[in-house]
Amino acid sequence: MPAPLAIGLVAHDDKKAALVDWAVAHETYLKGKALFATGTTGGRILDALPHLDLVRLKSGPLGGDQQLGAMIAEGRLDVLIFFVDPLSPQPHDVDVKALIRMATLANIPFACNPATADLIVGGRPA
């Protein structure tokens, strides 16, 4: 039996609610997947969907983005869902850029907004 699809979930502060809403809307799809999320994002998702099997990593600015990047580099992450806030400065912008670069280099599906995330999981954008 193949390993479950491994999905990384992360969102900037102003996009966390949107990621939680997306996860709730795609709860059926996410069940049975290996889910990894940065600390605060993961906590918010688990508050809404406590039964999901989700591993919380460190908070993004404290190394969580780098943990996800390492998982990509090691071939342990299949998809990255990262709801980015392009209008707010990020104090750990260099980590964010490195994570996006890793997803691009590894050629894994990468969604930076709900419409693209919908397409990745086989739905249609709203």
pTM: 0.93
Supply the pLDDT for residue 95.
Answer: 80
CA 4 to chain centre: 16
CA 53 to chain centre: 14
Structural domains present in the chain: 6-120 (3.40.50.1380)
What are the start-end ranges of the H helices in the chain?
16-25, 27-30, 39-48, 64-73, 93-106, 114-120
14 tagged catalytic: no
Supply the pLDDT for residue 1.
Answer: 63
Compute, in degrees rounded to 10, the torsion defined by CA atoms 29, 31, 35, 37.
80
Supply the pLDDT for residue 56.
Answer: 97
Instruction: Say how far apart CA 27 and CA 20 lie, in whole Å.
Output: 10
Instruction: Give mean pLDDT in consecutive 10-residue pieces for the chain, a chain of 126 residues.
Output: 88 95 96 96 97 94 92 96 84 82 95 95 72
The active-site residue, picked from 21, 47, 65, 85, is 65
Residue length, the chain? 126
